[in-house]
Structures are given as structure tokens and as C-alpha cells.
Amino acid sequence: MLFLPASVTYVSIEKLIRRKAPEQNLFRIVIALLSVVIMPTLFYLKYQTGQRMKSRSVAADSKQTLACVFLSVELFIGLGVNYLYGLWWGARWLV
């Protein structure tokens, strides 16, 4: 179960050290765009459900979804900059 995160970490660090740019892929941009559109809606619905149920845990979980919204926006911008301009480090200024 820990093999996948470990292998992703290894490959990511290796590509950063070698300064190898990620592949430009329009499909990934579309997935990121869908995430940017869907995640805010999911956040709102989770938050409203938590309020109606008077469940602090559901409302708190909605805040985690809000964090995912910000990550999705950064991912979309980074992939877009890489795709359009070839700047693989394009979203670093957001962090």
C-alpha cells in the first residue's frame, strides 16, 4: 500500500533533480479544469449539509474540500502554463 506513494515521491524527486519537465498533456488539463469546476460545488453542498444536520464533522470536512479547491486551481494554472509556454515550474510563484 505504501509502494505507490513511495514510487511517486522517488520519480518526482528524480525529475526535479534532473530538471526534466513533465509531459504536456491536454487530458490532464481537462481533468484539472473539471476539478476546478466541481470541487467548489462539492464544498458548498458539504457545508450546507453539515449546517442542516448540525454536524460539525461534516462542516469541518467541507473545509478540507475547500483546501482541495485551492490545490485544484494551482494545478490547473501550473498545467496550463506548462502546456502553453513550456514553463514546467510555472506555478511555483503560487506557493
pLDDT in tens, 7-65: 778 877 888 888 776 677 788 889 999 999 999 999 999 999 999 999 999 999 999 99
- pTM equals 0.71
Residue 31 placed within a domain: yes
Residue 17 placed within a domain: no
Residue 49 placed within a domain: yes
Residue 3 placed within a domain: no
Residue 78 placed within a domain: yes
Phi, psi angle pair for 20, to nearest 5° = -90, 120
Residue 36 placed within a domain: yes
Show the DSSP H helices in the chain as ranges: 3-17, 26-53, 56-85
User: Of 31, 33, 59, which Cα lies nearest the Cα of 45?
Assistant: 59
Angle between helices 56-85 and 26-53 (to 10 degrees): 160
Q: Which residue has the cell 467541507?
A: 62
Residue 16 placed within a domain: no
Residue 5 placed within a domain: no
Q: Where in the sequence is the domain holding 80, given as residue range(s)?
A: 25-94
